[in-house]
Amino acid sequence: MYKTKEKIIEFILKTTALITVLTTIGIIWVLLNESIIFFKEVSIIDFLTDTQWTPLFANKHFGILPLISGTLLTTIIAISVSLPIGLTIAIYLSEYAPKKLKKIIKPLLEILAAVPTVVYGFFALMVVTPFLQKLIPEMAGFNSLSAGIVMGIMIIPFISSLSEDALSAVPKYLREASYGMGATRLQTSFKVMVPAASSGIIVSVILAFSRAIGETMIVAIAAGQQPRLTLNPFVPVETITAYIVQVSLGDVQHDSLEYRTICAAGMILFILTFILNNISFWIRKKFREEYE
């Protein structure tokens, strides 16, 4: 009896794992297939070097660079907001806050990541942009700055939580050694704890980065839908994800070249996040060895 139960549970677990793996493989397979068809019509060189992305217009250009720049611009703005804030919170929680307070604040912060992103999107469009326009009159209604800032707020808990875990995982005796030498909490934090937790902190930033790259709703709502190769944060741009939404929801005919552009764009997105996740996996593995 006991054995059959074990077997059933094992079977369920295996099936679930298998389904997950199969789904992933399925997604990659579809992306790859459609992309191959796409690249029969559009040269890869054009795709990677052309500076315009106008597949839905009469004069078609298939340069992915504007979408990549839009994606990276919003993401980098988001990281510049979330890294200093997230790291400050992490250091405060692990080095200063009483344990009880930490137990309250950490889950509260994680709510930030659980707010539906459509809410963030409208917040960026209706609150942040009008506010910033008062300071920067030339700012457009859709822009990467508001979208990036709000996205940065959303990913704060990725950085604060994971960095806090990394800081707390630093052996207690290092903190004691530093205090024992007469170091203040601030000195101990920055000279001992942060360097010792650096790999974990880097991992948290990479994960936040890859979350920001994949974020769709906020940028689709607040950053605009104009593919533009620019570093100007005040003008409308389009990210890879926003483009995919635009085409998916639009009236583009399925099984057309225009439709396949989203697979090619999706492929790029997939490759970007795949690389980032692998880097973080690799760092985490190394990090684990360091303390064992």
Local structure of residue 62 (DSSP, 8 states) = B
183 near other proteins, judged by CB under 8 A: yes
195 near other proteins, judged by CB under 8 A: yes
- Classify the phi-psi angles of 224: left when phi > 0, otherwise alpha if psi is within -120 to 50, otherwise beta: left
The two structure tokens encoding residue 207: 């994960």
Find tokens 């990276």 and name the residue.
72
286 near other proteins, judged by CB under 8 A: no
Find tokens 């806090």 and name the residue.
164
181 near other proteins, judged by CB under 8 A: yes
201 near other proteins, judged by CB under 8 A: no
Shortest Å, Cβ 64 to other proteins = 42
By beta-carbon proximity to other proteins, the closer residue of 178 and 210 is 178
180 near other proteins, judged by CB under 8 A: yes
With b meaning 16 or more CB within 10 Å and e meaning fewer, what string describes 8-42?
eeeeeeeeeeeeeeeeeeeeeeebeebbeebbeeb
| Spacing of C-alpha 117 from chain mean position | 13
Pattern 50-89, other proteins, x by CB under 8 A: ----------------------------------------
Per CB under 8 A, the list member of 67, 89, 196, 222 interacting with other proteins is 196
184 near other proteins, judged by CB under 8 A: yes
Q: What angle do CA 264, 269, 274 make, to 5 degrees?
A: 125
292 near other proteins, judged by CB under 8 A: no
Alpha helices, DSSP H, located in 170-216: 172-180, 185-187, 194-196, 198-214
137 near other proteins, judged by CB under 8 A: no
104 near other proteins, judged by CB under 8 A: no
169 near other proteins, judged by CB under 8 A: no
Shortest Å, Cβ 167 to other proteins = 14
Shortest Å, Cβ 104 to other proteins = 15
Per CB under 8 A, the list member of 117, 160, 163, 178 interacting with other proteins is 178
φ, ψ of residue 53 in degrees (nearest 5): -130, 95
Binding-site size for other proteins (CB under 8 A) equals 20
The helix-helix angle for 198-214 and 257-291 (nearest 10°) equals 170
Positions in the binding site for other proteins (CB under 8 A): 98-99, 171, 173-174, 176-184, 187, 191-192, 195-196, 290
